[in-house]
Amino acid sequence: MPPAANRPLKALVYRGPAACDGCPESVADLLESSPSKIEVTYAGPDEDTKLTAEALSNVDIYAHPGGGDMDDAWKHMKGYKANIRNFVEQGGRYMGFCLGAYLAGHSPGFDLLDKKDDTDAECDEPGAQIDDEREAVIQVDWTFSTGPGRGSTDLNRWLYFQDGAVIELSKKSSATVLGRYSATQDVAASLSTFGKGWVGLVGPHPEAGQDWYDRQNFKNPDGIRFDIGHDFVETVAHAGEQDE
């Protein structure tokens, strides 16, 4: 695509069998309401736009929302692996939310992380705040990379969570940690490079709106806020620009 300096950023958000009901729309809402006002098109097997190399070449960002079982999701997504890898390698940006974070890893996945980095289930980690797959509200320590709070860390912020990913980084990993699970200090969100592109992953659901909480009769002790979600989006969308 031509440089984005004089036009809105554009994103494809996956919508299809490898996403849960309402998850693509919540990710789209987060991108569209971000400071960058990203223009969203849904892509998937039943959408007008298919997840093709050509469709990816017309956007800056590919975002994959939350979904169900990883093994089932991979059956639907493995055929897109080459297109997604090529898109990121050539300078695109990948945003993975929950299932989308899992999919960036190696076992199985798109292989968008360093060879010694991977994704796994936070609920299986020793001392995890939530130790099963139920939906919950979980605490995260988030370091802001953009906006007025840039450089500051909010401790013990509550976010929606459902069997979210932990990003397992090696000691020599080049990835940047954006957030950690408060209970374990495991990596909850990260930013890394792949070829000329960028990969942003987040295990919890900073895109979750009031409808998510209402369905489970949950309350967020901090109130439902999108500052963390918008910071994640802006960080990934504009990563590396200061170096260009």
Q: CATH number of the domain that 171 lies in?
A: 3.40.50.880
Residue 242's pLDDT is: 66
Q: What is the pLDDT of residue 200?
A: 99
Q: Dihedral of CA 30/31/35/37: which sign?
A: negative
pLDDT above 80: residue 3: no
Question: Given this model, what pLDDT does residue 124 score?
Answer: 96
Nearest to 118 by CA among 143, 101, 96: 101
Which pLDDT value is given to residue 244? 44
- Range of the structural domain that residue 78 is part of: 4-243
Average pLDDT, whole number, for the chain?
96
- Give 146-164 pLDDT, tens digit per residue: 999 999 999 999 999 999 9
Read off the pLDDT of residues 176-220 as tens digits, 9 standing for 90 and up. Answer: 999 999 999 999 999 999 999 999 999 999 999 999 999 999 999
| Confidence at 40, pLDDT banded by 50, 70, 90 | very high
Closest CA to 233 of 118, 117, 61, 92: 61
Give the span between the Cα atoms of 178 and 100, in whole angstroms: 16
Q: What's CA 101's distance to the chain center, in Å? A: 6
Q: Using CA atoms in the order 209, 144, 6, 93, what is the torsion angle rounded to 10 degrees? A: -80
Q: What pLDDT is recorded for position 5?
A: 64
Give the tokens for residue 136: 């919950």
Task: Answer yes or no: is pLDDT of 165 > 90.
Answer: yes
Q: How many domains does the structure of the chain reveal?
A: 1
Give the pLDDT confidence score for residue 7 in this predicted structure. Answer: 85
What are 76-89's pLDDT values in tens digits? 999 999 999 999 99
Both tokens of residue 147?
A: 């906006």
DSSP per-residue codes, 136-155:
EEEEEEEE--SSTTTT-EEE
Q: How many CB atoms lie within 10 A of CB 200?
A: 26
Helix, strand, coil percentages for the chain (3-state, nearest 5):
30, 30, 45
Residue type (1 letter), 142: W
Express each pLDDT in 99-139 by its tens digit: 999 999 998 999 999 999 999 999 999 999 999 999 999 99
The pLDDT of residue 1 is 59
List alpha helices for the chain, DSSP H.
23-33, 53-57, 70-77, 81-89, 99-103, 210-216, 227-237
Q: What pLDDT, on a 0 to 100 scale, did the predictor assign at position 188?
A: 99
Q: What is the pTM of this model?
A: 0.96
The more confidently predicted of residues 2 and 147 is: 147
